[in-house]
């Protein structure tokens, strides 16, 4: 088994090296709705599922901005692979909040991956030594290659009768995966649901997400929701970059029907490609500006201001929406070459629009930002 990377800079280099092998597997990823075993093993062995795990646990604990670059690098090849890399890595930051013994139990295995999902009708009943867990959790990206499953559930405190959300961790063998992922975009994420019925979870495999991190690194100052948001924004930007590049290549060789000129020679195509590049470039610049400001504060003062959080939320949502807009322009420009499943534009079109429908791409996040800039108390997820 190959050893994991030992320093931050080497991960981005390794991502670029493995990208051609991901490209060779994209049809299989899409068809089977999961990462092929061999590809997953290579990604895991090179440390790509422990990028944000603390070094004290054998993780990479890499620079946040490099993580974003790695996600975009993978997304330019395959949106599903990038989505899983971001989802599974960002959730792995809980390793700094859970009991250290549990973190070592999980990430002591080189190919450890924890998948999770929002709960539906979940309950955790306190019993001697732990909890009896029942419920269903949806949108569990990467669950097919995961080794552990994380299930959030409300737990009643018998002494106060108050309820708190608790995270319960189980080996994947204890859950039932439910195949609901019948979609046209991001198919390779294998975003199934999972269920359990009256499963006992020992207390030492549970924790409260509001726990103060044991680790002092700046990564664990960054809000998890914003790590998800900015990473998925980079996924969207990578997907759009790939679509734009495919359109430029196509325009250099395609002659539209009943037209002797190449597509690239048509003024309307030139204008639209220029417009798409401007949309893409400005959205990415805004995201990197907001991410850099937040990361600098995390590194220097170990805290983010409300404005820094709002700007990162806004820039992430905007990048997701603008990436889809750039892909829409490409879709129109490329005509019938955009509609076939085997064409790269079609897959990018589907991926980009699935990303807009995820919680991080909601239009309501613009309202949250608007409230802040208008001097109101912002409401929402930031």
Whether residues 32 and 124 fall in one domain: no
Distances in Å between the alpha carbon of 292 and those of 18, 86, 174, 350, 369? Answer: 26, 18, 40, 30, 18
Tell whether 214 is covered by a domain.
no
Whether residues 285 and 257 fall in one domain: yes
Q: What one-character DSSP code corresponds to residue 78?
A: -
Whether residues 96 and 121 fall in one domain: no
Question: 140, 178 in Cβ contact below 8 A?
Answer: no
Given 158, 177, 207, the domain boundary residue is 207
- Residue 230 tokens read as 């900015």
CATH number at 191 reads 2.40.110.10
pTM of the shown model: 0.94
Tell whether 2 is covered by a domain.
no
**Could you list the residue range(s) of the whole structural domain that residue 226 is in?**
221-373
Domain count, the chain: 3
Whether residues 163 and 293 fall in one domain: no
Tell whether 166 is covered by a domain.
yes
CATH number at 21 reads 1.10.540.10
DSSP string, 252-303: TT---TT--S-GGGSHHHHHHHHHHHHHHHHHHHHHHHHHHHHHHHHHHTS-
Neighbours of 96 (CB within 10 A): 24
Rg (Cα) of the chain, in Å, rounded? 22
Q: Which of 5, 96, 100 has its CA nearest to residue 49? A: 5
- Residue 357 tokens read as 């429908």
Whether residues 195 and 226 fall in one domain: no
Whether residues 76 and 160 fall in one domain: no
Tell whether 185 is covered by a domain.
yes
Tell whether 1 is covered by a domain.
no
Tell whether 3 is covered by a domain.
no
Whether residues 190 and 247 fall in one domain: no
Whether residues 137 and 157 fall in one domain: yes
CATH number at 249 reads 1.20.140.10
Q: In what helix (H) or strand (E) does residue 248 lie, and over which residues does it extend?
A: helix 224-251
- Residue 203 tokens read as 């207390």
- Per-residue pLDDT 10s for the chain (382 aa) are 333 444 556 999 999 999 999 999 999 999 999 999 999 999 999 999 999 999 999 999 999 999 999 999 999 999 999 999 999 999 999 999 999 999 999 999 999 999 999 999 999 999 999 999 999 999 999 999 999 999 999 987 666 667 788 999 999 999 999 999 999 999 999 999 999 999 999 999 999 988 999 999 999 999 999 999 999 999 999 999 999 999 999 888 767 666 777 888 889 899 999 999 999 999 999 999 999 999 999 999 999 999 999 999 999 999 999 999 999 999 999 888 889 888 899 999 999 999 999 999 999 999 999 999 999 999 988 8
Given 107, 132, 153, the domain boundary residue is 107
Distances in Å between the alpha carbon of 29 and those of 24, 40, 124, 270? Answer: 10, 11, 35, 33
How far apart CA 326 and CA 345 sit, in angstroms, is 12
Whether residues 81 and 135 fall in one domain: no
Given 107, 138, 154, the domain boundary residue is 107
Whether residues 318 and 367 fall in one domain: yes
Whether residues 43 and 133 fall in one domain: no
Whether residues 281 and 169 fall in one domain: no
């Amino acid at each position: 088994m190959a050893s994991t990377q030992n320093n931050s800079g080497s991960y981005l280099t390794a991502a670029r090296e493995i990208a051609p092998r991901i490209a060779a597997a994209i049809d299989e990823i899409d068809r089977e709705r999961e990462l092929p075993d061999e590809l997953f093993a290579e990604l895991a062995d090179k440390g790509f599922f422990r990028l944000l795990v603390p070094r004290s646990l054998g993780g990479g604990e890499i620079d946040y901005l490099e993580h974003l670059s790695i996600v975009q690098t993978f997304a330019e090849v395959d949106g599903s692979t990038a989505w899983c890399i971001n989802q599974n890595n960002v959730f792995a930051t809980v390793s700094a909040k859970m009991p250290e013994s549990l973190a070592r139990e999980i990430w002591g295995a080189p190919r450890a991956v924890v998948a999770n999902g929002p709960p539906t009708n979940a309950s955790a009943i306190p019993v001697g030594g732990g909890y009896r867990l029942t419920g269903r959790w949806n949108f569990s990206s990467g669950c097919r290659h995961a080794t552990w499953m994380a299930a959030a559930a409300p737990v009643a405190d018998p002494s106060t009768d108050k309820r708190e959300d608790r995270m319960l961790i189980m080996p994947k063998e204890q859950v039932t995966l439910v195949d609901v992922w019948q979609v046209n975009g991001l198919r390779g994420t294998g975003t199934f649901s999972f269920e359990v019925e009256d499963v006992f979870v020992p207390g030492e495999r549970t924790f409260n997400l509001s726990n103060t991190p044991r680790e002092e690194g700046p990564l664990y100052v960054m809000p998890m929701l914003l790590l998800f948001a900015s990473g998925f924004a980079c996924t969207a930007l990578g997907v759009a970059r790939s679509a734009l590049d495919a359109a430029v290549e196509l325009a250099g060789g395609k002659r539209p029907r009943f037209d002797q000129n190449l597509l690239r020679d048509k003024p309307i195509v030139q204008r639209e490609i220029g417009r798409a590049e401007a949309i893409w470039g400005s959205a990415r610049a805004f995201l990197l500006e907001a991410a850099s400001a937040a990361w600098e504060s995390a590194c220097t003062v170990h805290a983010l201001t409300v404005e820094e959080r709002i700007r990162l939320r806004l820039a992430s949502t905007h990048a997701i929406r603008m990436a889809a807009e750039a892909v829409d322009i490409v879709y129109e420009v490329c005509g019938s070459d955009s509609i076939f499943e085997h064409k790269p534009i079609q897959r990018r079109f589907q991926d980009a629009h699935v990303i807009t429908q995820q919680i991080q791409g909601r239009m309501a996040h613009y309202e949250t930002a608007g409230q802040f800039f208008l001097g109101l108390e912002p409401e929402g997820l930031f």
